[in-house]
Amino acid sequence: MIETLGNIGDFVGGIGVVITLFYLAFQIRASRLQTLAEDTTNAVNGWLASQTRWLQTDESVNLMRRAFHNYENLSPEEKGRFTGYMFDLNAAYQTALNLKDKGLLDSRQFSQIEAAMAAYLKCPGAQEWWKELKPLWPEHVGQRMEQIVAEYSGPPMSDALSFYARVE
CB 93 within 8 A of CB 113: yes
* DSSP at 102: T
Nearest to 113 by CA among 164, 35, 40: 40
Angstrom distance (rounded) from CA 43 to CA 55: 19
Q: Is the pTM of this model over 0.85?
A: no
Per-domain residue ranges for the chain? Answer: 38-164
Beta-carbon count within 10 A of 93 CB: 26
Spell out the per-residue pLDDT of the chain, length 168, in tens. 777 767 777 776 777 777 776 666 777 777 777 777 777 777 777 777 877 888 888 898 899 999 999 999 999 999 999 999 999 999 889 888 988 888 888 888 899 999 999 999 999 999 999 999 898 888 988 899 999 999 999 999 999 988 888 765
Q: How far apart are the first and last CA of the chain?
A: 98
